[in-house]
Amino acid sequence: MTYIFKYSRGLLWKTETVVGHQYHEAQDKMLIFYPDGGIREICNWKNCEVKLGADWCLALKKSMENQAGTSIPVAGV
């Protein structure tokens, strides 16, 4: 499942459609994973800001349900 990953290192926001992301604290970098199997590395992540929407929450919920093999309720829905 894809979701929108928006990030900024200043005034300009960049938008990517991704299937996942992962932060590596020791190297201060964010990896984003594309639907076609590609990967992008964003260095100096501590200088960035991210916006994740409801589509990310739904993708996370679906991933958790696939791992658990059962439906997972979300509060307020």
- What's the pLDDT tens digit per position in 16-57? 999 999 999 999 999 999 999 999 999 999 999 999 998 888
Residue 33 CB contacts under 8 Å (≥ 6 apart), including other chains: 18, 19, 20, 21, 22, 39
pTM of the full structure: 0.80
Structural contact between residues 6 and 56, judged by C-beta atoms closer than 8 angstroms: no
Query: What is the per-residue pLDDT for 5?
Result: 97
Angle at 66 between CA 61 and CA 68, to 5 degrees: 90
- Amino acid identity of residue 54, one-letter, is A
Domain range annotation of the chain: 3-68
Structural contact between residues 32 and 48, judged by C-beta atoms closer than 8 angstroms: no
Closest CA to 21 of 54, 47, 59: 59
